[in-house]
Structure 1
Amino acid sequence: MSFTEEELAYLKSQPLARIATVGPDGQPDVVPVGFEYDGRYFYIGGGHHPERTRKLVNVRGGHEQIAFVVDDLVSTNPWSPRFLRVYGTAEVVERTGQFGAGAYLRITPTVSWSWHLDGRPVDYDDFAPRRTIHSASTQGRPDQVG
């Protein structure tokens, strides 16, 4: 498993994320999405008309690199944001999932960062996100960055 128990619990607690794909003209496109995680892949539904949603059109067009973030704000006073960010590759698959049957993006994580998932207030002298490289050879061995 490449995500920690704390990261998995955070993912399960959050219903909404944001995904960025890149269009044929190089323009990034960010959209809020619901998601599922099965322990290996993230799945994002294609929407009501998947043939027209930018995220699926961009990936089908060969722009497979994505960025995905799940975040929230525990408190504004004291300032307590937390997040889990994922870089990865996406492909369009047909499946039945949380959003019904149809086209989904299946995301394979390549690297992730998490920060302050415990919800404690931010201490700017202690900014140390956890960075993990996700691959078969490094599964479960986090690369800590300070």
Structure 2
Amino acid sequence: MSFTAAELAYLKSQPLARIATVGPDGQPDVVPVGFEYDGVHFYVGGVDPAKTRKVLNVQAGHDQVALVIDDLVSTDPWSPRFVRVYGTAEVVERSGMFGPGVYLRITPTTSWSWHLDGRAADHSDEDFAPRRTVHPVSGRADQAASQQ
């Protein structure tokens, strides 16, 4: 498991994400989605997902995706926070939060998190940069690295 305890708690606290896929014509597409995380994969489903662009894009061979889970703790002071995930997606059948059916299963490859403690975004802060994690590829855990 490559996510920290704080990142896992944040993921559990958020009901909504945004997923970006790329269509066969190269057009990016981003949509809000509900998601689940089982400790290894993220799952994105929905109402009749087999007909959605996100699923059709992945089925067309465009398996690289981005997922952003974010919120705004406060506007005064400005206090955004997020987990951003790059990964690969595949179409699977499973029973999840949207019932049985088609889901995208996303395997994280790299993630970033930022200000999960909800503090104000202060550009003079020493650790203003997001935390970056390279997630282990199945069978290649020796390549995993975490950087500040």
Length-normalised TM-score, structure 1:
0.94
> Match for 1:18: what amino acid?
R
2:25 partner SS: coil
1:109 lines up with 2:113 in the alignment: no
Distance, in Å, in 2 between the alignment partners of 1:113 and 1:13 is: 17
Counting aligned pairs with the same residue, the percent is 75
Does the 8 A contact of 2:47 with 2:98 survive in 1? no
2:84 partner SS: strand
2:122 aligns with 123
The unaligned stretches of length 5 or more in structure 1 are: none
Deviation for aligned residue 1:143? 1.6
1:60-89: CA deviation from partner (whole Å, max 9, x where unpaired): 000000000000000000000000000000
1:29 aligns with 29
1:143 aligns with 147
The unaligned stretches of length 5 or more in structure 2 are: none
Q: How many residues align?
A: 142
1:100 aligns with 99
Distance, in Å, in 1 between the alignment partners of 2:142 and 2:85 is: 18
Does the 8 A contact of 2:19 with 2:30 survive in 1? yes
1:83-128: CA deviation from partner (whole Å, max 9, x where unpaired): 0000000000000011100000000000000000000011112222
Distance, in Å, in 2 between the alignment partners of 1:143 and 1:94 is: 35
- The alignment's C-alpha RMSD in Å is 1.0
Length-normalised TM-score, structure 2:
0.93
